[in-house]
Amino acid sequence: MATEKIDVVIPAAGIGRRMGAAVPKQYLKVAGRGILARTADVFLSLPFAGRVIIALAADDELFDKLDISRSPKVVRVTGGAERSDSVLAGLRASETEFTLVHDAARPMVRPSDIERLVSLACDDDGGILAFQTVKDTIKLASTDGDGTARSVRTEPRELLWHALTPQLFRTSLLIKALGSAAEKGLPVTDEASAMELAGYRPRLVSSDPGNIKITEPGDLAAAEEFFRRQAS
């Protein structure tokens, strides 16, 4: 386990269109508490976590109504149009050698999984929480001119992992990797993909598969059940 503090960046500038709610999904409540607040709670409880840096939309008027906004460990920064822009804004505010980046809508991450990630991945390659989910045969496809999908080959299931968060990287290297990808116009779907493009090989640290991202209405029901069980 790293003995130095590790800052946490939570990009929360999105609006979550797939949820179809009246407010951004990070402000929806599960079991009586907002999703973003629940996510921040996890990291605020960790002894090795430094500041929790939350990247918000410039016109966000809801965050200041949350109790976590008054925590001395929580820092608000202005995010950008894309997730990577928000992550960069948070990283530039980080004061620690390594930084954890975590989705605002993943409140069910287990502290023990975060602790294991930190204990294993504090090096230049960094690491991410992930899990092996593929049980069926997976085909890589190509597409004919008329749109017909054709199987090209069968992918080895044991090599396929589902990427989650948090993701842990040396702060300076991740800033450089994200900036380089942006300059080259390369698509970045998570922090690990930027590091991969820069030539690094992030460690995959096994996570509980319940660490889901709340994206659609059905995910809210799963989160409600999780926190009800936790409270009982």
| 5-36 pLDDT per residue, tens | 999 999 999 865 556 567 889 999 999 999 99
Average pLDDT over residues 36-58: 98
Q: What does the domain layout of the chain look like in residue ranges? A: 6-231
| 82-124 pLDDT per residue, tens | 999 999 999 999 999 999 999 999 999 999 999 999 999 999 9
Question: Hey, what CATH topology would domain 6-231 get?
Answer: Spore Coat Polysaccharide Biosynthesis Protein SpsA; Chain A (3.90.550)
| 118-153 pLDDT per residue, tens | 999 999 999 999 999 777 888 999 999 898 999 999
Q: How far is CA 54 from CA 64, 90, 111, 114, 161, in A?
A: 12, 7, 19, 18, 27
pLDDT value at 43 more than 90: yes
pTM to 2 decimals? 0.92
Q: What sign for the dihedral angle of Cα 86, 88, 94, 98?
A: positive
Contacts of 160 (CB under 8 A, 6+ apart): 132, 133, 134, 138
Contacts of 222 (CB under 8 A, 6+ apart): 212
Mean pLDDT of the chain: 93
